[in-house]
Structures are given as structure tokens and as C-alpha cells.
Amino acid sequence: MGRSSDLDSADDTRRRQEIQFSFKSIVESSDKWLGRLRGRESRVRLASSFLTTILVFVTVGASVLGFVVSQYGWPYLMVLFQDRNLAYSLAGTVLLAGLISGFATYFLLKRKHDARLKELSSLITEMKKIEEEQQKKVNGGGGEGITEDALSLADKIVTLLPELVRRRNQDSLLFGVVAFIVAALVGRNLAVAILVGAMVWLYFSYEARKTYEEEISKFEEQKRVFEQRKKDFIETL
């Protein structure tokens, strides 16, 4: 009878340790993914801001030149370009409009991205606090119990993270377009710019697909193990 009780106690301790380990693995993986997501969103903001600046500069500049030609004709446009002060003033105004649009795009996207990752960040922070508290209990000889709050947080995060970590083909295309523009401005060779843009697009597409397939599959396995261990653990309560 005593031996059976000891075995049950050992099994219970083992289950607690297993689910504790799964919980810790989910915390670590989620924290790494949060860092990756923030880095990706930062690159997207910079690329989007640059692209917006260029597009607004070209669009506004073309609109101003089109208006001048339609109202005064081509001869006046030639005179305009010969007046350096006026030409620089006009170019500066158009560039300022582009820069303002670029900065506005950056901060609007930052607000959107921060809101998107806010819940994940909060969940990870709470999970870290719980993990630290549990570790203190272990070090103080208070046992290795895992609370219902911890299980609930883990459930939320294993559901939320895969939704956030999804393939973003448009991000790769965005980086390719930016690379094309930069190469075109620097090299002034359309063929080379197209090649550079295509290479950058393919590279980021490959990296995104590789990271998604490899890393999210690992997380899905952690999720599966956690769900099984949680089920086994709850059955012993």
C-alpha cells in the first residue's frame, strides 16, 4: 500500500515537472518569436516609409510639373528650370511633402504594429512572472505546483502566436521594390535594378518560408506536447 502511494506520488511529481518544462519551453519560444516579430515589423515600417517618401515625391513633383505645362506650356517649364532658386525651392517643397508622408507612414504603422503585438507581449510578461514565482518556490522548497492561471495563459499564447506568425509574402515584395528603387537611383541601370529587386524579393521570400516552416513546426510540437501533458496533469487533480 505504501509502495503504491510512493509510486503515485512519484508519477504526480513527474507530471508536474513535465508540464513545468513545457510551460518554460513555450515562454522561451514565445519570447524569441516576439523579438523576431518586432524586428520584422521594424523593417516593414522603414521600407514602407521609404517607399511612401519616394512615391509622394514623384507623384507631387509630376503633378506640379503637369500643372505648369498645362497652364503655361513647355517654354515656361524651361524658364522655370533655368531659375535655380525657384527650381530648388520647388524641389525642396516637393521633397518636404515626401518626407512628411514618410514619417507619418512610419508612426502610423508603428502604432498599428504595437497594438497587434500588445496582447502577445502582455501574455509573455505574465508568463515570465509566473515562471519566476514558481522557480522561487522550488528554490525555497515550496514545491513545483503550476497554477490554473499559468495553464490559461499558456493556452492563450499557443493559440495567438501561430496567428501572428504567418507568412507575409507582401513583406518580401515590399523589400524587393525598395531594393529596386535604391538600385535604380544609385546605378541608373534599369536591368540591374530589376535583377537586384528580384534577388532581394526571392531571398526574403525564401527566408520567411524557411523560418515559418521550421520554427512554427517546432512550436506546434511544443503546443501538442503541452496539451497532452496538461490533459494528463488535470486528470490527476
pLDDT in tens, 183-192: 998 888 889 9
Low-confidence winner among 31-45, 48-62, 66-80 (lowest mean pLDDT): 66-80
- Examine residue 1 and state whether it is found in any structural domain, yes or no: no
Low-confidence winner among 56-60, 156-160, 175-179 (lowest mean pLDDT): 156-160
Question: Is the CB of residue 117 less than 8 Å from the CB of residue 41?
Answer: yes
- Examine residue 5 and state whether it is found in any structural domain, yes or no: no
- Give the domain range for residue 219: 13-235
Question: How many domains is the chain built from?
Answer: 1
- Examine residue 106 and state whether it is found in any structural domain, yes or no: yes
Say what the alpha-carbon torsion angle 183, 187, 192, 197 is, to the nearest 10 degrees.
Answer: 0
pLDDT at 4 over 70: no
pLDDT digits (tens, 9 = 90+) for 132-164: 777 666 555 555 556 667 777 777 887 787 777
> Considering the entire predicted model, what is its pTM?
0.74
- Examine residue 7 and state whether it is found in any structural domain, yes or no: no
Check residue 7 and give its pLDDT.
Answer: 46
pLDDT at 196 over 60: yes
- Examine residue 227 and state whether it is found in any structural domain, yes or no: yes
- Examine residue 21 and state whether it is found in any structural domain, yes or no: yes
pLDDT at 178 over 80: yes
